[in-house]
Chains A and B, each alone.
Chain A
């Protein structure tokens, strides 16, 4: 058995790329067609958002498609402010959420005592509590802490609401990293902290990025919390800016959709830029790199 696998291993590193390549070539264009079809179906509503963002504002006699809504939101609204606040809130949320969740996820992944299992379970329980009923008591609490109408306040809530999922996402990823890597580091005299930062984290980019994207989108798209907590115009984030187009008797859908398109851009850009890091890392890469 071990001889057999050793042989595979020997042939493996050299032969792997070639063999996967062979598999890759066969039916490549069929798979391409399939994915084009799937993607096309999936993004129909997104295309609808884009088309709606090009429809003339109400009251306008214009027909056909127009970029007027974009002109309007850039010149007549505080879009740049909203964008700045949203980016700020989302980035801090991501950084802190990952920084707090990664070590906790490591504990969940590697620890095997009752206390840790209990903590793992409590995370699910907490995540199970519906957010809708928590908003008002949280507001009372934050008024006492003088954190209402304050970006720091909503950031704390976002970080807290990502926590359970973020910890579990990190833990699920750490599970895929063989303990042997850390054991080797420990033999070399590294502490748990040292092996965690230098060995585990280094090989966890896909996991970290998944968690980061989850946290980013949670903070980026939320309006249920922000609309209750943030009141001053200077503190508006994009989703609340979006709400300003919902008037009593009218909703300016063209502008809403134009802001929505702008809102989609940062996550897309970030994801596109980081995309290549999703495929590296993990056990495959780390073993081959040794």
Chain B
């Protein structure tokens, strides 16, 4: 029984201790909660917010913070505070902020976010800013890039970095298989056949949980063949001969066993591990692939754009951008900040912080960027043939891109069904058309 009363004693002690903890944490809660008070609101007196995404590594965050902290506004204009927004659920973060008027004055974000917010009347167009950049920064943007930001009402945003899709190959494995880098779809089939003979996959990609890259690649092939998702009325128009031919080509790659049978469900981490494991010898991904494959990185080379069966070239890229919001402490202040930022952001690239390709020629031509042969191939050979989601109908972007194809569920389902290889091209395209049509707004 002694043990039992011991138990009772410790129970009592425990409750006492718990009570003490409770009291002290509550006291702490009051003081902490007061101290950290809400920093929301459209910006206090003389301070505005800049929200940026984790475009690169820790080094990116440090450098970006440094640049923003060094901004000295002219008198009467607001200073800027820096805030990094995480990718997890970022659309919710932005939409809830905009809807509750706690949005920043300036932010980056998803590539089509600005167009959606513009359609909802929340964006301050950048036309005045570009006018003030005339003969200066404005001419520094890569050719055609500004057009991607143009809407009927003005420039919805300012191009910031390029997220591209291109082909990659492992030169050692290619050599081993006796394959040469292809330049046309038919040559690509031959390359894949040679790689397959050695047990390598030639059509490496993934479309698993959280990975939209696979759907980008399939769209890229449609654009490659002169097709794409939207017509010139900016409506989805998928069931076209060009698209059908492109998807038939993908299905041919799948049926011949050139793609990994699991690729429909590969996350980007899985894709990277297949490159690392030397299973993928040729594949399609973003420009940042080598940074994620460790020891295989030195072997990876960007391929050349392929000529399709119809003799066309083309692929998909995403001009990420920075947008200004109507709800700002000072529109002049937002513009002054961005002028400063664009004139001083070069180190984000020269210090190799992991951000996508630069939007400005002056940065693209620095040895740190163009010295990398893969970057050079992308900038010289791929950049001229890139299209946005709006292809073939438009060179720009618009709100319905965000609603129908950018990160939507039907695109994933479509891609998984094609990579599964058990559907017909025309049927799959028709299904996709039927699924995204109702998602259109206005």
Contacts and interface: CB of A to CB of B under 8 A. Distances in A.
Interface in A76-99: 76-77, 88, 91-92, 95-96, 99
Given A95-B25, A99-B22, A149-B40, A227 B55 contact: no
Interface stretch (B27-35, B120-128, B172-180, B417-425): B27-35
A232 interface: yes
Interface stretch (B4-12, B132-140, B193-201, B250-258): B4-12
Nearest to A203: B11
A140 B356 CA distance: 34
Interface in A41-93: 56, 58-61, 63, 76-77, 88, 91-92
B227 to A, nearest CB: 27
Interface residues of A, number: 57
Interface string B35-75: 01111100000000000011111101100000000000000
Contact of A91 (B15, B25, B60, B354): B25
Contacts of B379: none
A151 to B, nearest CB: 6
A26 B57 CA distance: 58
A281 B26 contact: no
Contact of A249 (B18, B92, B287, B297): B287
A245 B53 CA distance: 12
Contact of A228 (B38, B93, B292): B93
A144 B42 CA distance: 13
A247 B88 CA distance: 10
B25 A92 contact: yes
B33 A58 contact: no
Given A248-B87, A250-B291, A140 B11 contact: no
Contacts of A146: 37-38, 40
Given A92-B29, A281-B11, A248 B40 contact: no
B288 interface: yes
Interface stretch (A161-169, A213-221, A233-241): A233-241
A228 B92 contact: yes
A277 B11 contact: yes
A248 B64 CA distance: 15
B352 to A, nearest CB: 10
A154 to B, nearest CB: 10
Contacts of B22: 95, 99
Contacts of B409: none
A240 B412 CA distance: 26
A149 B163 contact: no
Contacts of A249: 56, 163, 286-288, 291-292, 354, 356
Contact of A227 (B15, B89, B286): B89
B101 to A, nearest CB: 8
Contacts of A247: 54-57, 60, 87, 354
A224 B294 contact: no
B164 to A, nearest CB: 11
Given A140-B100, A151-B32, A250-B354, A59 B93 contact: no
A147 B76 CA distance: 30
B36 A246 contact: no
Contacts of B57: 247, 250, 252
25 contacts: A59-B291, A61-B295, A95-B18, A135-B96, A140-B100, A146-B37, A146-B38, A149-B36, A202-B11, A202-B12, A227-B88, A227-B89, A246-B86, A247-B56, A248-B56, A248-B163, A248-B355, A249-B288, A249-B291, A249-B354, A252-B57, A281-B7, A281-B11, A288-B1, A288-B4
Given A146-B38, A202-B8, 9 more contacts: A76-B58, A95-B26, A136-B96, A143-B101, A152-B29, A152-B33, A227-B89, A231-B39, A247-B55
Interface of A: 56, 58-61, 63, 76-77, 88, 91-92, 95-96, 99, 135-136, 139-140, 143, 146-153, 155, 201-202, 205, 223-224, 227-228, 231-235, 240, 243-244, 246-253, 277, 280-281, 285, 288-289
Interface of B: 1, 4-5, 7-8, 10-12, 14-15, 18, 21-22, 25-26, 28-29, 32-33, 36-40, 53-58, 60-61, 83-89, 92-93, 95-96, 99-102, 163, 268-269, 286-288, 291-295, 297, 354-356
